[in-house]
Amino acid sequence: MIRYNMNQPGKSLGVIGLGGLGHMAVKFGKAFGLSVTVLSTSTSKKEEALSLLGADNFVVTSDQEQMKGLSKSLDFIIDTASGDHPFDPYLSLLKSAGVYALVGFPSEIKFSPASLSPGMKTFAGSVTGGTKMIQEMIGFCAARKIYPQIEVIPIQYANEALERLVKKDVKYRFVIDIENSLK
């Protein structure tokens, strides 16, 4: 988010995918002073996005009226979704010179050049920063008490955790408690 200047107070951020990365994008966005909108395919995470994570807005992407109302309103989008999904509808939500950062891993990326070029939009990919950026991020998190939402599990529960992961039944990360699992 720092690399693409997504830390400018008063700007707007859309977050696609409210999982392990997406919930942290919401937390970072709020800490940076952004107006954060979660973009989701269903209402199932609406209450958590707004109440627990502090998002300002929640939009169901299958609702054409909600999407139309958000047209050209976002400065930034961070896409954390790994499943295949269309890109053109999301690109239409960016303002001129908006930035779309893909951090998820869909199997393919397809969008019309007309969704990108006329508005001077930037489409970028990123996995992680270098050591210095990671250290700065950890320091930022410590100073502002930004922590991931996790579910701690014993190693014996790993197979069930994988099954739940496939069913998208995890909020938001599993963490294996190695120390207590080996006793």
> Tokens 């990123």 correspond to what residue?
126
Return the domain boundaries, the chain.
Answer: 2-144, 149-182
H helices within the chain, ranges in order? Answer: 20-31, 46-47, 64-69, 88-91, 131-144, 158-166, 178-181
- How crowded is residue 161: how many other Cβ atoms within 10 Å of its Cβ? 18
8 within 8 A of 32, measured Cβ to Cβ = yes
> Tokens 């529960």 correspond to what residue?
157
75 within 8 A of 98, measured Cβ to Cβ = yes
pLDDT computed for residue 180 by the predictor: 85
Amino acid at 136: E
Please report, for the chain, how many H helices and E strands are present, in that order: 7, 8
Pairing of strands 94-102, 74-79: parallel
Q: How far apart are CA 80 and CA 58, in angstroms?
A: 16
Bridge partners, 123 (sequence order): 100
Q: How far apart are CA 72 and CA 46, in angstroms?
A: 22
CATH 3.40.50.720, domain 2-144, yes or no: yes
Pairing of strands 74-79, 173-176: unpaired
Helix (H), strand (E), coil (C) string for 50-96: HHHCCCCEEEECCCHHHHHHCCCCEEEEEECCCCCCCCHHHHCCEEE
23-51 per-position pLDDT tens digit: 999 999 999 999 999 999 889 889 999 99
pLDDT in tens, the chain (183 residues): 988 999 999 999 999 999 889 999 999 999 999 999 999 988 988 999 999 999 999 999 999 999 999 999 999 999 999 889 999 999 999 999 999 999 998 899 999 988 888 889 999 998 887 899 999 999 999 999 999 999 999 999 999 999 998 887 888 889 999 988 877
pLDDT computed for residue 183 by the predictor: 76
pLDDT computed for residue 55 by the predictor: 98
